[in-house]
Chain A
Amino acid sequence: MSVQGWTFLIVGITFALYIGIAIWSRAGSTKEFYVAGGGVPPIANGMATAADWMSAASFISMAGLISFAGYDGSVYLMGWTGGYVLLALLLAPYLRKFGKFTVPDFVGDRYYSHTARLVAVVCAIFVSFTYVAGQMRGVGVVFSRFLEVDINLGVGIGMLLVFFYAVLGGMKGITYTQVAQYVVLIFAYMVPAIFISMMLTGHFFPQLGFGATLVDDNGGASVYLLDKLNQLHTELGFAEYTSGAKSKLDVFFITAALMVGTAGLPHVIVRFYTVPRVKDARVSAGWALVFIGILYTTAPAVAAFARTNLIQTVNETPYASAGGEKSIPEWFKKWENTDLIAWVDKNGDGKVQYRGGVPFDGKPAFTADRGPAGQRMLSNAPSANANELYIDRDIMVLANPEIARLPAWIIALVAAGALAAALSTAAGLLLVVSTSISHDLLKRTLMPDITEKRELMAARFAAAAAVILAGYFGINPPGFVAQVVAFAFGLAAASFFPAIMLGIFSKRANREGVVTGMVVGIAFTMAYIIYFKFMGGTPAQYWLGISPEGIGTVGMLLNFAVAVTISRFTPPPPEEISHMVENIRIPKGAGSASSH
């Protein structure tokens, strides 16, 4: 069976499974819609959190990013896992004890203020929306690449599916489909990784193969994979793989922004409202990190394998196949046809030279012509260096099974896994958006007398509207979405994390301090990002060399400083807030999450 046949089969089966689960777990009340009834077992919640958390970016792009960045890619690995320690130790158990439905619920009640609630609602909707548009785009890309349907039709199919189980099932439907999606995505990620690890190093576990010696066909002295990679990098004029090129301070700040941002993302926090007890909230954060860690410890191994394979199969290889000689493999030409690989034969020897530096400025601009070896010609002016190869980083995970010549069903499995990752994250985010509107805005602010039945209806309408809007952005991506997604973390770090943490750990933190802190933190972070990304600021002007990716850390520190200082000079919170804080610090007496 062909790759495409396998893909239709496997993707079809997984989609049928998700729909089946959605019908079985329909939500009947607002409580089921917002927090899955509050009765999800901790291990299941851990799995759902992992699927919710690992997006199309984690599945498709992360290993590719690391593959090209080497040590510098560590910021994503540490940043996107270390946040769970903060979440488990500082936030999750207390928010569970507090026992409401949403993050703005906590902020509004703890700081006895509708302004605080509204600021939190706006931050939650903004953070979630920038994130979700990227997911729908990811769905479209996978559909068009593997099923060869139009990218817009792909987004449409993804919208329909998410619409079906998010609108129908709410949090309950989403939770149980996410459990299934986790299983699909982790299987799809691990199978090719294990195959490639076995082929390159003879180790079953990619985590071990990563630090092992290469299988040597010639019977020569065995050499460690990472040593070989460093040696190749040095020879070809790249920075050494295991040492970075970024400044230490920047790496530090980016890691911190990603960690704290992770702990402040509303769609992750809300998952801890779904378990029965405080105890379960703690341990389910642990399970979530176990399930996330399986993928996150495999990704850097995949990155190193793919990098080695890529350099060895492509560099100094003739493009045109000429009688029995080794030539460029089929996958290279296939991805070249999708504009993601380009080759300029600068020295005219017909062979691909892969070296440090960019082959030309910007994205490849293909002309209709073919060169002497059959390659696609470009209108970009070649750069002065010897590098002839352009590769888009996003193809590494998707092309990896082909590069390693794995069977067709594995390639199809990767497509299904990427779809599972994108859909599960999109659904979780859309739920936050719809809950923010129906619960935080309507029920808690504008129409407190709304009946439960009508609130549930409003939640479904809001979910439906959010799906359609997200789909629209997936089909017509505004240029800034892709760039903004990466900054959602910085914004979450600079707004939510200090507000929630102070709310639990400081009885003195009051309305005036925390609202000002949130506004200052998010405004500063946004201004810095906008200046450097959209208004032509140059890296030379970075404050202390901190890039916009890492500035959320500074925003967070600023938020803390402002909130603590202003709280000190303004009246303390009322007596009942003090009691509330004392109460959330003690696990005893946690009922299930409620709206009252």
Chain B
Amino acid sequence: MNNDHRVAYWKENLRYLLILLTIWFLVSYGAGILFVEQLNAIKLGGFPLGFWFAQQGSIYVFIALIFVYVWLMNKLDQKYDVHED
């Protein structure tokens, strides 16, 4: 495999990481900690929204993020033909 090919694969991978980790940061540190008071003014059923993100929502998003990452990377591996058999 030539070098440009490797570099392009790695760049796309880093771009995915940047996007996914930004979401990871926003739901936990953002919604659950830094802006928790502002969000608590909004109610989700019986939950203040910021509190919900801190004790429930962030965990659901974390799980989704990993599966989205798996899906994106499997596609990327195919595209650059670096997948395992």
Contacts and interface: CB of A to CB of B under 8 A. Distances in A.
**A and B assemble together:** yes
Interface of A: 66, 71, 73-74, 77-78, 81-82, 84-85, 88-90, 93, 207, 210-213, 224-227, 242-243, 248, 251-252, 255-256, 277-279, 282-283, 285-286, 289-290, 293, 296-297, 300, 582, 585-590
Given A89-B17, A242-B51, A252-B29, A300 B56 contact: yes
A167 to B, nearest CB: 34
Given A89-B21, A93-B73, 8 more contacts: A85-B62, A243-B51, A255-B33, A286-B63, A289-B66, A290-B63, A587-B77, A588-B83
A102 B70 CA distance: 24
Given A74-B54, A212-B46, A587 B63 contact: no
Contacts of A73: 55
B59 A226 contact: no
Contacts of B82: 586-588
B45 A286 contact: no
A225 B83 CA distance: 50
Nearest to A73: B55
Given A242-B48, A585-B10, A84 B66 contact: yes
A286 B59 CA distance: 12
Nearest to A227: B46
A276 to B, nearest CB: 9
A82 B58 CA distance: 8
Contact of B28 (A210, A255, A300): A255
A287 to B, nearest CB: 9
Contacts of A300: 55-56
Nearest to A66: B55
Given A88-B66, A242-B48, A289-B62, A248 B34 contact: yes
Given A286-B63, A588-B84, A88 B69 contact: yes
Given A283-B70, A289-B62, A586-B82, A78 B28 contact: yes
Give 6 nearest A-B pairs by CB, closest first.
A224-B46, A74-B54, A286-B66, A300-B55, A211-B46, A211-B47
Contact of B46 (A226, A251, A285, A587): A226
A456 B33 CA distance: 48
Contacts of B17: 89-90
B40 A282 contact: no
A582 B66 contact: no
A279 B20 contact: no
Given A74-B54, A212-B45, A279 B62 contact: no
A381 B17 CA distance: 57
6 contacts: A71-B55, A78-B59, A89-B21, A255-B28, A279-B73, A587-B83
B6 A582 contact: yes
A328 B62 CA distance: 42
A81 B66 CA distance: 12
Contacts of B51: 71, 74, 226, 242-243
A279 B74 contact: yes
Interface string B67-81: 101100110010001
B31 to A, nearest CB: 10
Given A210-B56, A586-B82, A588-B83, A82 B77 contact: no
A300 B53 CA distance: 12
B6 A586 contact: yes
A226 B44 CA distance: 12
Contacts of A66: 55
A73 B32 CA distance: 12
A286 B36 CA distance: 27
Contacts of B45: 211-212, 224
A69 B1 CA distance: 55
Contacts of B37: 243
A204 B27 CA distance: 26
B84 A587 contact: yes
B21 to A, nearest CB: 7
Contact of A251 (B13, B33, B66, B73): B33
Interface string B11-28: 001000100110010001
Contacts of A243: 37, 40, 51
A25 to B, nearest CB: 26
Nearest to A300: B55
B35 to A, nearest CB: 10
Given A84-B62, A225-B46, A277 B84 contact: yes
Contacts of B67: 283, 286
A255 B33 CA distance: 9
A83 to B, nearest CB: 9
Contact of B66 (A71, A85, A587): A85
Contact of B59 (A213, A285, A297): A297
Nearest to A289: B63
Contacts of A242: 40, 48, 51
Contacts of B40: 242-243
Contacts of B24: 82, 85
B62 to A, nearest CB: 5
Contact of A85 (B6, B65, B73, B84): B65
A92 to B, nearest CB: 10
Contacts of A255: 28-29, 33
A390 B73 CA distance: 52
Nearest to A213: B46
Given A78-B54, A279-B74, A252 B46 contact: no
A74 B58 CA distance: 10
A164 to B, nearest CB: 34
Given A286-B67, A300-B56, A78 B32 contact: yes
B84 A590 contact: yes
A404 B19 CA distance: 45
Contact of A74 (B10, B21, B44, B55): B55
A207 B52 CA distance: 10
A73 B51 CA distance: 11
Contacts of A248: 33-34
Most A-side CB within 10 Å, residue of B47, B54, B65: B54
